[in-house]
Amino acid sequence: MRLYLIGMPGAGKTTLGRGLATAYQLPFLDLDEEIVRREQRSVSEIFAQDGEEYFRQREADVLREVVAAYPSLVLATGGGTPCFHHNLEVLLETGLTLYLAVPVPELVRRLQAVAASRPLLAAHQSAHALETRLRETLAARQRFYERAPLCCTAPTCSLETVQQLIARYNALA
């Protein structure tokens, strides 16, 4: 199976993705890490040097490459992945997509520590500014995220909660 994790920055896609891959004994890939490896520079550097549009094109290309190369894996996407270049259709058509719907105040708590290394959040580091920015971003992205067949709405989506969701989905499928 291909399992895709989508959701806002700080939702835990990378963290939970690793745990799920271990639990299901599947390869794990993080889309940002795959882009960074190919570009030999950080996501922040890509944004600063070539802009978001360039990043989104690389993201779309690398997503399709990864999907073609792995018939089964757990893939942590970037927060914006499903919202550009028809990437959501690729995800929906080639695997099981899980939306980690973590409430904004919890995202704020998690991201305050790491905002400086995340280009779309770097300019918004006070808790209030970060919250405003995240609410705006979520409002624009929700219609993409909510098309995922699986959604975890627990404030802290634990590995166990997510595994139960997937087991229930697979039993019904």
Regarding 76 and contact with ligand ADP (CB under 6 A), the answer is yes
Q: 133 CB contacts (<8 Å, ≥6 apart)?
A: 120, 121, 124
95 binds, among ligand S3P, ligand ADP, Mg ion, none (CB under 5 to 8 A by kind): none
Q: 161 CB contacts (<8 Å, ≥6 apart)?
A: 152, 154
Regarding 125 and contact with ligand ADP (CB under 6 A), the answer is no
Q: What is the smallest separation between the CB atom of 167 and ligand ADP, expressed in angstroms?
A: 19
Known binder of ligand: residue 147?
Answer: no
162 binds, among ligand ADP, Mg ion, ligand S3P, none (CB under 5 to 8 A by kind): none
Known binder of ligand: residue 137?
Answer: no
Q: What DSSP designation does 70 have? A: -
Known binder of ligand: residue 10?
Answer: yes
Q: 166 CB contacts (<8 Å, ≥6 apart)?
A: 3, 20, 96, 98, 150
Token reading at 47? 């944004």
Positions in the binding site for ligand ADP (CB under 6 A): 7, 9-15, 76, 110, 114, 156-157
List residues forming the annotated binding site for ATP.
Answer: 10-15, 118
